[in-house]
Structure 1
Amino acid sequence: MTPATSAVARALERIERLDPALHAFIEVWPKTASAREREAVARRLPLGGLPFAVKGPSGIRSCAARRLIAAGGVPVGATSVPGPGAVWQTWGQGAHGRTVNPWRADRTPGGSSAGSAVAVATGMAEAATGSDGAGSVRIPAAWCGVFGLKTTNGLLPSPDRTGLASAGVLARSAAAAEPCLRRVLDGGGAPDGAPGRPPPGLPLPAVYSEDLGFAEVDPEVAAVVRAAVDRLVAAGTVRLLDRDAGLLDPAGAWTAVRGGSPDDPETVRVRRTNDERLDALLVGGALLLTPATPNRPHGHEGPGTRYSTALTWAFNLSGHPAASLPAGFTGDGCPVGLQMVAPRGADLELLAAARAVEDALPPARTPPRAGRD
């Protein structure tokens, strides 16, 4: 291995060249990264020195990061999250300034795993860890045009005392995320060369909902996602089921749980009702497909009138695994995410389904701010 062929060296070079404009990282660890890469290669560990980023200043201590390191992944740095005192979470503050969307610098990348999404979108890391308490993996994945998966709540230790937050992984695609997700989910104990989850039988049974019965969705965002779903149906990848995906708006229940009042009677009613409806929707291993966000990336000045979490936080309350993958672009050049939700515990099945879906959609594009190798 020489510096010219080293994956970690390439990642570090891109960070040095691109991050002064993107502001995705708060810390970079070139010396320890190079040493860990040499060790991973020498020991022939499964991930072989794959460079990844960790979310925020505490990310290196997360269960996901520890498992990736044990499998031969190499953390190259810690990525941006919202700054102190932020009252909304869809932005990041890197070492050089506020994190910018690699598709449009005047827009936020989403958050709170902001820098993680920007890092993988621009090739500064091949994967990144994240955590998702209301959409914090799926929203930046959607707005940066990458893949992000929130694991089943409780499957890994939660960084949030309420249990709403669950670990996640971001990568350029579901295929690129698979080696990392398998190590995160199985504890790094799968033998080298072990086969992945077999491809799912096609067509995948799925329910499509534009708004989950309550959200106000930007018409152009909805149209992009609907066009992607229609393409999946035409390709024989998805078979739509006639099931009602109407849920109760979870905003009040999520806020109550986050505020320490999970036993509030209305919160209990909303959660029980939505759990029952989701169980009926996903029976038989069906998927639920929705837009990942009701809105496109907003400006750095604030989130506007639509909650970007409107279509994601129901699944932090219910605990279901959920992913966002690229669905296309709005006319002003903003990426749009397709959210996929699976039954609880079916994380690897969701990953396999996401791989089948992305195979039937146009290949993900490279952001204009990703620079050149």
Structure 2
Amino acid sequence: MLSAGEIAAGVRAGRLTAAEVVGEALGAARRLDPVLHFVDELDGDRALRLAREVDPDGVLAGVPFLVKARTPPGSPIIERLLAAGAIPIGTATRARPGPGSQTYGWNGSDYTRNPWDVTRSPGGSTAGGAAAVAAGVVPLTTGGDSGGSLRIPASFCGLVGFKGTLGRVPRAVGRALGGLTTAGVIGANLDDVMLATSVVSGPHRLDPTALPFWPVPVLADKPWKVAYLSTLSQYAVDAGVDAIVRDRLTVVEVIDVPLDLLPTDDAWQVLSDLDAGCGTEATASIRAREVRDRNNTALADLFDVVDALVTPTTLTVAHGYDQYNENIIVGDPCWAFNVTGHPAVSVPAGLLDGLPVGLQVVTPHGDDATALAVAKQLMVELPRP
């Protein structure tokens, strides 16, 4: 599979047709889904019709993508990708509704599998889309991140998952009460993820309080100063994961800066309940706000000294496809930045026993470009699984 940028350039130049590209993506989905179980529903007829009608001058002309299952109809992210010429070929699996860990995918009869090792999970809850991107079926998939649902699958599958500053991408439900979730994309290519995020950014009639339009940034290339924390809580990172991420830090200046964050587990649950329209006790809501405010202040002090904070994205590599509840804390490095709303991006750092390791870069509110610039210096190019 070509990158999204290469596909769109080929369609604009007449070297490719959108129908050819979409047809190949549909064929790959049908061949690989019986093994990986990433499809929720394919819509080949509509995809090919849209491909034949696409404006070849669109920024993402002819780029096939998958939509995360249960995405609300008329979502701004889908509407804007379509307007840019991208073609949805169907919906991708996600975790089943309900409490518990969401780091897996389910198609109604079987678990979604990781292309790097079909005994492992691709992460979640943007599970099927990540598996499809890693397998080369499509270059992009949509998702949302309220506790790592873009970054955890990116880490497990060796991809780029970008959670912009809260409000970077408008949402169909508008501004949520708890403010945990940011819509976004997962891709195999950092440039593709930046381009798609730019295309879908800016206020929308369904979410007029979203942040302003975000032009594709020109990433600075300079000696960055970063702080590194192997974990943000009492849960320890796997030693092999820690070693691989630390090895990538030789290309930046690492500064030892203390960071004292309050635990976010309880606050995250309260804010999640608010986002879901569930009632919470006033004292719990006040405490959640206090945790958010305290952690925002602590991170602001950190970013007075360094350009970015780097952590492992997940505490381990991909767990077994059906072992999600036993590994509920695997995405612990992600949740804190949903509570605070900071931009955070996961990129590949290397392989451990043949499985991808992700590193996470976090920067101040609104400074998404620096997170991506630091990530570009630290990431490695992995082979296809």
TM-score, normalization by structure 2: 0.84
Contact 1:210 1:217 in 2 (8 A): yes
Contact 1:207 1:245 in 2 (8 A): no
What is residue 191 of structure 1 aligned with on the other side? none
What is residue 257 of structure 1 aligned with on the other side? 271
Question: How many angstroms does 1:284 deviate by?
Answer: 7.1
Question: How many angstroms does 1:314 deviate by?
Answer: 0.4
Which of 230, 246, 249 in structure 2 is aligned with 1:210? Answer: 230
Encode CA deviations 1:221-272: one digit per residue, 9 max, x unaligned.
2112112223xx2xxxx22233223322211211122234475244333222
| Structure 1 counterpart SS, 2:360 | strand
Please say if 1:239 is aligned against 2:260.
no
Please say if 1:307 is aligned against 2:329.
yes
What is residue 366 of structure 1 aligned with on the other side? 384
What is residue 225 of structure 1 aligned with on the other side? 245
Contact 1:197 1:349 in 2 (8 A): no
Q: In structure 2, what is the Cα distance between the partners aligned to 1:86 and 1:151?
A: 25
| Structure 2 counterpart SS, 1:202 | coil
Contact 1:175 1:355 in 2 (8 A): no
| Structure 2 counterpart SS, 1:215 | coil
Question: How many angstroms does 1:147 deviate by?
Answer: 0.6
RMSD (Å), alpha carbons: 2.5
Q: What does 1:181-192 correspond to in 2, within 5 Å?
A: 181-186=197-202
Which of 102, 116, 119 in structure 2 is aligned with 1:103? Answer: 116
Contact 1:119 1:125 in 2 (8 A): yes
Question: How many angstroms does 1:187 deviate by?
Answer: 7.2
Deviates more, 1:315-324 or 1:2-11: 2-11
Contact 1:23 1:97 in 2 (8 A): yes
Contact 1:214 1:248 in 2 (8 A): no
Which of 84, 87, 100 in structure 1 is aligned with 2:100? Answer: 87
Question: How many angstroms does 1:7 deviate by?
Answer: 1.9
What is residue 171 of structure 1 aligned with on the other side? 187
Equivalent residues, number: 351
Deviates more, 1:178-187 or 1:101-110: 178-187
Which of 1, 7, 29 in structure 2 is aligned with 1:15? Answer: 29
Q: What does 1:45-60 correspond to in 2, within 5 Å?
A: 45-58=58-71
Q: In structure 1, what is the Cα distance between the partners aligned to 2:306 and 2:85?
A: 33
What is residue 346 of structure 1 aligned with on the other side? 367
Amino acid at match of 2:84: A
TM-score, normalization by structure 1: 0.86
What is residue 337 of structure 1 aligned with on the other side? 358
In structure 2, relative to structure 1, the CA distance for the partners of 1:38 and 1:60 (3 Å cut) is farther
Question: How many angstroms does 1:81 deviate by?
Answer: 0.8
Contact 1:208 1:245 in 2 (8 A): no
Contact 1:132 1:167 in 2 (8 A): yes
| Structure 2 counterpart SS, 1:102 | coil
Q: In structure 2, what is the Cα distance between the partners aligned to 1:303 and 1:228?
A: 30
What is residue 318 of structure 1 aligned with on the other side? 340
Q: In structure 2, what is the Cα distance between the partners aligned to 1:133 and 1:305?
A: 18
Question: How many angstroms does 1:140 deviate by?
Answer: 0.7
* Percentage of pairs with the same residue: 36
What is residue 370 of structure 1 aligned with on the other side? none
Question: How many angstroms does 1:8 deviate by?
Answer: 1.3
Please say if 1:298 is aligned against 2:316.
no
Question: How many angstroms does 1:305 deviate by?
Answer: 5.0
Deviates more, 1:17-26 or 1:169-178: 169-178
Contact 1:298 1:304 in 2 (8 A): no
Q: In structure 2, what is the Cα distance between the partners aligned to 1:29 and 1:252?
A: 40
Please say if 1:32 is aligned against 2:46.
yes
Q: In structure 2, what is the Cα distance between the partners aligned to 1:177 and 1:4?
A: 20
Q: In structure 2, what is the Cα distance between the partners aligned to 1:37 and 1:209?
A: 46
Question: How many angstroms does 1:335 deviate by?
Answer: 1.3
Q: In structure 2, what is the Cα distance between the partners aligned to 1:196 and 1:54?
A: 22
In structure 2, relative to structure 1, the CA distance for the partners of 1:4 and 1:309 (3 Å cut) is closer
Please say if 1:137 is aligned against 2:150.
yes
Question: How many angstroms does 1:50 deviate by?
Answer: 0.7
Please say if 1:155 is aligned against 2:168.
yes
| Structure 2 counterpart SS, 1:175 | helix
In structure 2, relative to structure 1, the CA distance for the partners of 1:72 and 1:60 (3 Å cut) is farther
Question: How many angstroms does 1:339 deviate by?
Answer: 0.4
Q: What does 1:55-70 correspond to in 2, within 5 Å?
A: 55-58=68-71, 61-70=74-83
Contact 2:62 2:86 in 1 (8 A): yes
> Gapped runs of 5+ residues in structure 2?
1-13, 205-213, 275-279
What is residue 283 of structure 1 aligned with on the other side? 304
| Structure 2 counterpart SS, 1:167 | strand
